[in-house]
Amino acid sequence: MLRWSWVAPLAADGRGRPAPGVWPQLTLASLLIVAGHTATFVVAARVAGCTAPLGELIALLMVVQIAAGIPLSVGGWGPREGIAAWAFAAAGLGAANGVTVATLYAVLMLAAVAPGAGLLLRDTVRRRRGRGHPDESRGPDPAPLTRRPAWREAERLVP
């Protein structure tokens, strides 16, 4: 008898999709994030003195964001500024303007995440000092609750 145990994990969890009720929330969160990045880039461009139309700035942002995802940088600096210089020069706005906008954008995004870094630092200090809520653990986080993996449950169903 041929056993199809390798199919069970694919049948149970291999779809690679979030649950149906998550899609609206995921879509809204993604749209808000893109809107935030777009607004930040437009503010950086206007502060740098760029007078390009909004549609052109959004197109330039998409090129700059793709370059920001290239994993070749020094502390996150490099490809974003280089591609911004190239893209702004190609659009007739000047390479120096592109570098200025990209740098301002990076600084604004760094400022945007600073409050979160402060909260993480505060939490770390609290844990080291042992202060906090009476319910708070002073040691490492406890092991997560374990449950039978979904592929084990599906394996039961496959003859």
Question: Residue 99: what pLDDT?
Answer: 93
Q: What are phi and psi of 74, to 5 degrees?
A: -115, 100
Look up residue 39 and give its two tokens: 């607004």
Question: Residue 117: what pLDDT?
Answer: 87
- Report the distance separating Cα 61 and Cα 71, nearest Å: 18
Domain map (residue ranges) of the chain: 36-128
Question: Residue 153: what pLDDT?
Answer: 58
Alpha carbon of residue 85 to chain centroid? 24
Each residue's pLDDT tens digit in the chain (159 positions)?
455 555 555 455 445 666 677 788 888 999 999 999 999 999 999 999 999 999 999 999 999 988 888 888 787 678 889 999 999 999 999 999 999 999 999 999 889 888 888 888 888 888 888 755 555 555 666 666 666 665 565 556 655
